[in-house]
Structure 1
């Protein structure tokens, strides 16, 4: 997908915005006990804090580790592009979810002496939502947006059957 550092920054910003915003809405809903329209506005207040944390973690640490883990799962030279995307996404979720849950526990949960237990519980509650959001909704949406911001040259474009 991204071909240079600028594109990596843009891709990461878009992914962080959608994933962090979605996960904040999910966590506020868990805390409140019901879904209300006000949650969508409230989430922007936390996004200002959690967005930069997620960007720094993903851009400087997790993306490199996820790529390395994914390259152990599939052979990037010989695999179908979908297998590569899936492997990178799964590795990214496995790394980002505990890290972001740690940040959320530290900043918003007032866990006190039960910090480890609350962090593990937060990670366990967030993981299924992060997994399905990334693989089914946010990941495809962000790749769609990214492809329209940075269309590939005609000669390099893949056909639908290749993906």
Structure 2
């Protein structure tokens, strides 16, 4: 895990990229009725907006509340795996509704159902994918890449 501000920034940038790209692809695929090769390229248009937004939200708004909530839920004797799962779960619980709110405002056609209804539906659809992707794929992959880049001498 990151030990310095630079490492924290690099980790956040990497994690935000992988999470946002996957979720943008997921939402585009849902909108067009399935995953197609074109989705992988189309996602980069939304990424130009959503990736910086995710970095800013994580670093300047949600980082301290996530650490605080994790410390409230976990005890120091808790195994490291549980800390990682809970911390990332709390991050998802805060980031998913917020990013869905921004995506609803920018990219969804909410005229028929209304803004709040469309946002709530987006959160409900995104949350299971977000938590699963974070815990089982994105989190482990980004941590592996991060550890590879920032090898520590023991």
Q: TM-score, normalised by structure 2?
A: 0.96
Unaligned 5+ runs, structure 2? none
Q: CA RMSD of the aligned region, Å?
A: 1.0
Residue 147 of structure 2 is matched in structure 1 by 147
Cα distance between partner residues in 1 of 2:98 and 2:148 = 30
Residue 152 of structure 1: how far off its partner (Å): 2.1
Structure 1 residue ranges without an equivalent (≥5): 155-163
1:87 matched to 2:86? The reply is yes
User: What is the rounded CA distance, in whole Å, between the counterparts of 2:116 and 2:91 in structure 1?
Assistant: 22
| Cα separation, 2, equivalents of 1:129 and 1:23 | 8
Contact 1:67/1:91, CA 8 A, preserved across alignment:
no
Point out 4+ residue stretches in structure 1 off by more than 3 angstroms: none
Partner of residue 6, structure 2: 6
TM-score, normalised to structure 1, is: 0.91
* 1:1-163 alignment runs, 5 A limit: 1-75=1-75, 77-112=76-111, 114-154=114-154
Counterpart of 2:61 in 1: which secondary structure?
helix
Counterpart Cα distance in 2 of 1:53 and 1:7: 19
Matched residues in 2 for 1:81 and 1:61: separation?
A: 24
Count matched residues.
153
